[in-house]
């Protein structure tokens, strides 16, 4: 697409990339020796401010202004689920963004909903039953994943599509052989071995085309290419896709799993006086009989106290703001790696691409494209007003800086649009708008050893401080994992408040 054509397309950059503490340090009083203080070591992407805080800026924690049973830090699916389960308690929910939802957050364009993150769940996940519990009816995807390869649309990639891959016959046969070998593996029986081994060990000796497909698929789903992927995660994914060829058990809503967080926020509205957006937590400090939480709201620091705190935040933030973490637990949190992951939505005012729900596009600036309204297209009387295509765009860790400013984010979105228009005949169409939702650290990488060695340490309670969020559970980052992590943390909190022993931890797959 020429620069002149692009000039007529509206690009919209959204999403706060800052993941730590976007506070104005001029409002933060320096402490004297006689004052009680705490150094907030908070990482984030607002370099000028958050890196100063990270590097040891010390501030006064104001006196406690309110007390609660539980303070929940983080208003994504994990924090909202915790609040939902604690409605009978005096809770306070703090979220730094101006909206609820975290990575499961949907947006709208003239009434049409589109995704900015989490896409779908499966029927065997707890999230399926949970969504029904809160009054949502999951809608079936009922469509095996396709791929666009060398300009050709290949339906049901890992089913009948293997016979139609636009590769030389030996390469097609290699794909089939690989599938057969992966289906023969009993991952559960292999246990820890497959969780601690990289998936790259299994693609060795296969054609580059096969590795390219998986290096495209992995980052979108679990944040990592073959070399950095726990083998069991990828093998399970292929086995699931083989089953999808016969029966797709995925479910979602228009715009993805943001429907769950939106519904939770609606249910919690009667408690809105205990829910605060725009509140950036900068310190969580355990005292003898309580935990004190300091946060910035509207340019003012506040401190509240609680009998228990649930940290429903990514661990790279958690370890910066929770005081007195044991060294081993802090080190475990530090080992978790996160990728930058924007989602670029192409908004067309006419049908452009409705060939399948989720289509994989190896070798492009984005990994896959999801049709936002796929699950309602066949409903009686439905007419598609806008064809909104969500292009999932995980990026290498070293490219995070592109999302820090509008110019860099626009360049990412423009590259996605350019690659989309070259995918196959009929797609060289200009959208009316291009929306990019930036996220700097939303998806943890499912690296070898993470689930078996790191996450068990990460989620260990710290007396009155408990740990939720998707990166507490594993083996890959999912909305389901966030819900399960919250429900585990709530049980731990209830036991602590009742003076009972903490429930015995069980490994729970997300």
Residue 65: CA atoms inside 13 Å, Cβ hemisphere, count?
10
CA gap 196, 140 in Å, rounded: 33
Do 11 and 111 share a domain, yes or no?
yes
What average pLDDT does the segment 21-32 reach? Answer: 38
Supply the DSSP string of 215-284, one letter for each residue.
HHHHHHHHS--GGGSBHHHHHHHHHHHHHHTT---EEE-TTSTHHHHHHHHHHTGGGGGGEESSEEEEEE
- CATH number of 120's domain: 3.90.660.20
Do 281 and 363 share a domain, yes or no?
no
Please state which of the ranges 19-33, 148-162, 173-187 shows the lowest mean pLDDT.
19-33
Q: Is the pLDDT of residue 191 over 90?
A: no
The pLDDT of residue 38: 33
Cβ neighbours of 94 (radius 10 Å): 26
Note the pLDDT tens digit of each residue in 487-504.
Answer: 999 999 999 999 988 787
Last residue of a domain, one of 220, 244, 268: 244
Higher pLDDT, 507 or 90: 90
Do 217 and 300 share a domain, yes or no?
no
CB 446 within 8 A of CB 224: yes
The pLDDT of residue 503: 81
Q: Describe the crossing of helices 169-183 and 208-222 by its angle, rounded to 10 degrees.
A: 50
The pLDDT of residue 395: 97
Do 390 and 273 share a domain, yes or no?
no
Q: Is the pLDDT of residue 124 over 90?
A: yes
Q: Which long-range contacts (CB under 8 A, 24 or more apart) does 370-378 make?
A: 370/115, 370/119, 370/256, 372/112, 372/113, 372/114, 372/115, 372/254, 372/255, 372/345, 373/112, 373/113, 373/254, 374/141, 374/143, 375/139, 375/140, 375/141, 375/251, 375/252, 375/253, 375/254, 376/139, 376/254
Mean confidence (pLDDT) of the chain? 90
Do 479 and 331 share a domain, yes or no?
yes
Domain of residue 179, residue span: 161-244
Note whether residue 153 is domain-resident.
no
- CATH number of 329's domain: 3.50.50.60
Note whether residue 155 is domain-resident.
no
Do 179 and 32 share a domain, yes or no?
no
The answer to whether the pTM exceeds 0.85 is yes
Note the pLDDT tens digit of each residue in 303-353.
Answer: 999 999 999 999 999 999 999 999 999 999 999 999 999 999 999 999 999
Note whether residue 151 is domain-resident.
no
Do 125 and 11 share a domain, yes or no?
yes
Percent of the chain scoring above 70 in pLDDT: 89
Do 134 and 200 share a domain, yes or no?
no
Which residues contact residue 20 at a Cβ distance below 8 angstroms, ignoring those fewer than 6 apart? 42, 43, 44, 45, 46, 50, 53, 54, 280, 317, 320
Higher pLDDT, 237 or 57: 237
Last residue of a domain, one of 444, 467, 483: 444
Note whether residue 504 is domain-resident.
no
Note whether residue 435 is domain-resident.
yes
CA angle, residues 328, 331, 333, in degrees to nearest 5: 110
Do 455 and 331 share a domain, yes or no?
yes
Do 133 and 12 share a domain, yes or no?
yes
The pLDDT of residue 49: 33
Last residue of a domain, one of 187, 216, 244: 244
Give the number of domains in the chain. Answer: 3
Do 90 and 113 share a domain, yes or no?
no
Note whether residue 149 is domain-resident.
no
Do 12 and 42 share a domain, yes or no?
no
Strand 121-122's sheet: what is its strand order? 121-122, 250-252, 139-140
CA gap 395, 42 in Å, rounded: 23
Note the pLDDT tens digit of each residue in 425-465.
Answer: 999 999 999 999 999 999 999 999 999 999 999 999 999 99
Binned at pLDDT 50, 70 and 90, residue 3 comes out as low
What average pLDDT does the segment 108-114 reach? Answer: 96
């Amino acid at each position: 697409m020429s620069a002149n054509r692009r000039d007529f397309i509206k690009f919209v950059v959204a999403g706060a990339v800052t993941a730590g503490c976007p506070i104005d340090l001029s409002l933060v009083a320096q402490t004297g020796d006689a004052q009680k203080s705490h150094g907030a070591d908070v990482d984030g992407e607002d370099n000028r401010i958050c890196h100063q805080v990270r590097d040891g800026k010390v501030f006064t924690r104001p006196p406690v202004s309110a007390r609660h049973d539980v303070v929940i830090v983080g208003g994504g699916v994990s924090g909202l689920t915790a609040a939902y389960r604690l409605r009978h308690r005096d809770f306070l929910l703090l979220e730094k963004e101006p909206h609820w939802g975290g990575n499961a957050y949907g947006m709208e364009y003239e009434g049409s909903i589109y995704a900015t993150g989490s896409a779908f769940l499966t029927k065997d996940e707890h999230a399926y039953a949970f969504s029904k519990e809160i009054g949502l009816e999951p809608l079936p995807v009922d469509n095996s994943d396709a791929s666009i390869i060398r300009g050709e649309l290949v339906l049901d990639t890992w089913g009948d599509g293997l016979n139609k891959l636009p590769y030389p016959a030996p390469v097609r046969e290699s794909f089939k052989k690989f599938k057969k070998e992966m289906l023969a593996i009993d991952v559960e029986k292999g246990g820890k071995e497959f969780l601690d081994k990289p998936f790259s060990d299994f693609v060795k000796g296969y054609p580059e085309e096969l590795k390219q497909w998986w290096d495209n698929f992995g980052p979108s789903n679990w944040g990592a290419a073959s070399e950095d992927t726990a083998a069991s995660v990828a093998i399970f994914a292929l086995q699931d896709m083989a089953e999808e060829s016969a029966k797709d058990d995925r479910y979602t809503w228009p715009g993805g799993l943001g429907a769950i967080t939106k519904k939770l926020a609606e249910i919690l509205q009667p408690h809105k006086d205990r829910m605060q957006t725009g509140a950036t937590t900068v310190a969580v400090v355990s005292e003898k009989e309580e935990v004190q939480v300091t946060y910035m709201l509207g340019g003012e620091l506040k401190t509240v106290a609680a009998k228990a705190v649930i940290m429903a935040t990514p661990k790279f933030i958690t370890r910066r703001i929770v005081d007195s973490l044991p060294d081993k637990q802090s080190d475990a949190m530090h080992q978790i790696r996160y990728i930058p992951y924007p989602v670029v939505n192409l908004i067309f005012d006419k049908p452009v691409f409705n060939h399948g729900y989720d289509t994989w596009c190896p070798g492009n600036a984005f990994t896959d494209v999801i049709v936002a309204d796929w699950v309602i297209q066949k409903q009686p009387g439905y007419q598609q007003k806008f064809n909104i295509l969500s292009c999932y765009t995980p990026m290498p860790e070293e490219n995070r800086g592109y999302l820090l400013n509008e110019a860099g984010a626009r360049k990412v979105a423009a590259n996605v649009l350019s690659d989309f228009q070259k995918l196959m005949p009929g797609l060289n169409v200009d959208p009316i708008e291009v929306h990019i939702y930036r996220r700097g650290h939303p998806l943890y990488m499912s690296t070898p050893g993470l689930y078996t060695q790191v996450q068990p340490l990460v989620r260990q309670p710290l007396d009155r401080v408990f740990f939720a969020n998707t990166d507490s559970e594993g083996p890959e980052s999912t909305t389901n994992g966030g819900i399960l992590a919250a429900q585990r943390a709530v049980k731990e909190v209830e036991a602590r408040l009742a003076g009972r022993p903490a429930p015995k931890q069980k490994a729970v797959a997300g």
